[in-house]
Amino acid sequence: METADDVTRMRDVTRMRIVGGSLALDYVNTRSGPPDGPPGDDILHRYDDLVAWAGGIGLLDHAEVAALRRQAAEQPARARAAYRRALEVRELLDGLFRAAAMGGQPAAADLTRLRDGAAEAYAHARLVPGAAGFRWGWPGQAELAGPLWPIVHAAVELLTTGPLDRIKACGGCRFLFVDESKNRSRRWCSMEDCGTAAKIRRYVARRAATRAGAGG
């Protein structure tokens, strides 16, 4: 049964902007906040939030969302463990790709952890027909850890086939994204949010400077 709390959470989770250009980065971007320092807001407060987010971006269909929610309600301890694991994976991807965005190398221990996560993900995967051949898929899976598997897979893809040199950190917030612009000039997670905020800041600064100049 859906409570008012569920509806609010669903709205919060699904209005999250999807700007990363990779599922792995969109997952990292479930935490927001300033570009430097610790993250501010987190939309993942408990296991159900992960399911709501995955459903909202189309990673899970309605039936999968319902099945996982049911299972989480029936097995709260396992759901809490899956939630903790989800946060660990997000921390791992955050470290890996933030390093890439800064032009650094990922830590060897992080690569090992990603390999281990991938081994688990592929152990549960199926090869399913795709547009140009077969691809990894997790259709109809109903495991509590399941939403993480395609995310880990996306992280491996991004790390192995790139473009790693196009991963950037937003100039106005902590979001990461793949810069797919032709001249690699993208600076903001989205023009409507951080881009506009930066424009307003520049405008206010210019006005203040003009006024200070005029005032003598």
User: Which is closer to Zn ion, CB of 32 or CB of 141?
Assistant: 32
User: Which is closer to Zn ion, CB of 102 or CB of 142?
Assistant: 102
Least separation in angstroms between residue 43's CB and Zn ion is: 15
User: Which is closer to Zn ion, CB of 82 or CB of 169?
Assistant: 169
Least separation in angstroms between residue 101's CB and Zn ion is: 12
C-alpha span between 27 and 210 (Å, rounded): 42
Chain centroid offset of residue 170 CA: 13
Under rule CB under 5 A, residue 25 binds Zn ion: no
Least separation in angstroms between residue 186's CB and Zn ion is: 11
Q: How far is CA 180 from CA 20, 70, 81, in A?
A: 10, 39, 36
Locate tokens 């299972």: which residue? 71
Least separation in angstroms between residue 96's CB and Zn ion is: 19
Identify which of 50, 125, 138 has the alpha carbon closest to the alpha carbon of residue 87.
50
Number of residues that bind Zn ion (CB under 5 A): 6
User: Which is closer to Zn ion, CB of 97 or CB of 175?
Assistant: 175
Binding mask 38-77 for Zn ion (x = CB under 5 A): ----------------------------------------
User: Which is closer to Zn ion, CB of 148 or CB of 176?
Assistant: 176
Helix H segments across the chain?
Answer: 4-14, 23-28, 47-56, 62-74, 76-101, 108-123, 148-161, 196-215
| CA trace torsion 115, 118, 124, 125 (10° rounding) | -130
Using CB under 5 A, which residues numbered 173 to 212 contact Zn ion?
173, 175, 189, 194
Under rule CB under 5 A, residue 170 binds Zn ion: yes
C-alpha span between 94 and 88 (Å, rounded): 10
Under rule CB under 5 A, residue 16 binds Zn ion: no
User: Which is closer to Zn ion, CB of 32 or CB of 71?
Assistant: 32
Identify which of 125, 128, 130, 153 has the alpha carbon closest to the alpha carbon of residue 141.
125
Question: How are beta strands 134-137 and 167-169 bridged, if at all?
Answer: unpaired
Footprint of Zn ion (CB under 5 A): 170, 172-173, 175, 189, 194
